[in-house]
Amino acid sequence: FSPDKYADFIDANRKEDPVERLKTLKRLIHDLPEHHYETLKFLSAHLKTVAENSEKNKMEPRNLAIVFGPTLVRTSDDNMTHM
């Protein structure tokens, strides 16, 4: 995710209506630069495979989000207190 879109992704994720939240997140993802989009697509497929094997590796989606979230979505000033 590009740092300049951090606030947009956070705002989209805070939408209460799940349908509207998903539509906004999809639009933001498709608006990413092509190399960011392709990298995200590849990484998402890999993390899905990891999560599908969570009985063996203990890496459920929540655990993956805790580990990868701060790396993938970060503010432009890189301040951990804002994350």
| Cα–Cα distance, 72 to 68 (Å, whole number) | 6
What's the rounded mean pLDDT across residues 42-67?
Answer: 95
- Residue 75 banded pLDDT, cuts 50, 70, 90: low
Q: What's the pLDDT band for 6 if we cut at 50, 70, 90? A: confident
Contact 59, 66 (CB under 8 A): no
42 within a domain of the structure (yes/no): yes
> pLDDT, tens digit, for every residue of 32-54?
999 999 999 999 999 999 999 99
28: confidence class by pLDDT, cuts 50, 70, 90: very high
Residue 17 forms part of a structural domain: yes
CATH number at residue 14: 1.10.555.10
Distance CA 80, CA 83 (A): 5
Does residue 83 form part of some domain?
Answer: no
Contact present, 9 and 22 (Cβ < 8 Å): no
Report the domain count for the chain: 1
Predicted confidence at residue 82, as pLDDT, reads 54
pTM above 0.85, yes or no: no
Give the range of the structural domain holding residue 14, as residue numbers without chain letter.
1-70
Q: Which CA distances in Å does 52 have to 39, 42, 57, 62, 83? A: 20, 16, 9, 12, 27
